[in-house]
Structure 1
């Protein structure tokens, strides 16, 4: 029998999953990007319920976040940051265009998160702030700064969080994103990446989610 109080953990790659499969949660490998993540999340929730869905994995940290490789970030909101329109040099988010990701117009591209996000961050000793989702990794410092200006306090950049959050929203399940920092957002420098440290941080974030979930149901 499936435990409806369990967490569903969605990761992009098998390498990220390998660090989590021994934990007491369902772990699903979605593939890269918000579409793949949304489809995998929807399929997993249709197959069995969950108390919370977590988009987990490694990601980049924005320059103003103060985060370093090996650090962890927990989402306060999850944003599809590249969904909108360019008007010359100005980016217009969906809300400013009068558009929505929902047919009834009730949801722009900023997704709320699990109401225990602050507890997860405190337990993990991690900052809480916006997690941005983009379909293409940001490759310049100017672009990173522009995203920070558009979404003040942005901590991390990933490619799946908004897809997971959207599927969870439609299923009526809360979502959260935890990112282990592998590199700074900006010029691509593979030599500066710290993948083992980022994967360890991701595991710490998932463990904090599971501890808060277990505490919430009194076991």
Structure 2
């Protein structure tokens, strides 16, 4: 079974089409990503799902544009409720994304992720998924406080991970860093470097996958 690579945009897909994997473009956002991944897995099973793309890095991560981040955990970071200034996640609310089991939207990732990180020099840590891109340092700091060690944010990873979980397929998120999370400063973005980093991470993941007998 070929691995399935899910990206949000055609620009991200273009760098990956020559790889030994099935590549689909989901559209932007957690719902679009979940639906596209679920449909793709129904059409053709996969032994590994890779959520790939570019994203912003949190200031405390130490990551710079062109660096690479891999998921130790994929977190649906805006799933919960606000009680005044206090955010309550699903654990605190006693809710679950699954109908018959507790699950707060924090998804475990592929067990071979540390080996991929070792080969690429990537940082390994929690990658956050949000429906709206963070636009202030204050919000970035709040997210970093809530999710210790958070490296990057994107808009699709948790949706892809949710679909993979329901299908019983391991998942990995790969993010090439294009910018710092915070005020929107497009002049500072480094998209070509981020796309190159994403390709490097995906290539290493596929290499490890093949070596493990995938």
**Consecutive unaligned residues in structure 2, runs of 5 or more:** none
**Consecutive unaligned residues in structure 1, runs of 5 or more:** none
Does residue 214 in structure 1 map to residue 195 in structure 2?
Answer: no
Per the TM alignment, residue 124 of structure 1 is displaced from its structure 2 partner at its CA by: 1.4
CA distance in 2, matches of 1:122, 1:215: 15
Per the TM alignment, residue 106 of structure 1 is displaced from its structure 2 partner at its CA by: 2.4
* CA distances 1:42-63 after superposition (whole Å, capped 9, x unpaired): 0110011111101000000000
- Give RMSD over aligned pairs: 0.8
Per the TM alignment, residue 171 of structure 1 is displaced from its structure 2 partner at its CA by: 0.3
8 Å CA contact 1:68, 1:183 repeated in 2? yes
Which residue number in structure 2 is paired with residue 109 of structure 1? 105
- Trace 1:77-92 onto structure 2 (pairs within 5 A): 77-92=73-88
Q: TM-score, normalised by structure 1?
A: 0.96
SS at match of 1:58: strand
Residue among 163, 175, 181 paired with 1:179: 175
- Trace 1:151-190 onto structure 2 (pairs within 5 A): 151-190=147-186
Residue among 71, 78, 93 paired with 1:75: 71
8 Å CA contact 2:95, 2:102 repeated in 1? no
Which residue number in structure 1 is paired with residue 54 of structure 2? 58
CA distance in 2, matches of 1:8, 1:89: 40
Q: TM-score, normalised by structure 2?
A: 0.99
* CA distances 1:62-105 after superposition (whole Å, capped 9, x unpaired): 00000000000000000000000000001111111000100013
8 Å CA contact 1:99, 1:105 repeated in 2? no
8 Å CA contact 2:175, 2:198 repeated in 1? yes
Per the TM alignment, residue 111 of structure 1 is displaced from its structure 2 partner at its CA by: 0.5
CA distance in 2, matches of 1:59, 1:124: 18
CA distance in 2, matches of 1:170, 1:106: 14
How many residues are treated as equivalent by the alignment?
A: 214
Residue among 177, 193, 199 paired with 1:197: 193
* CA distances 1:161-211 after superposition (whole Å, capped 9, x unpaired): 000000000000011100000000000000000000000000001001101
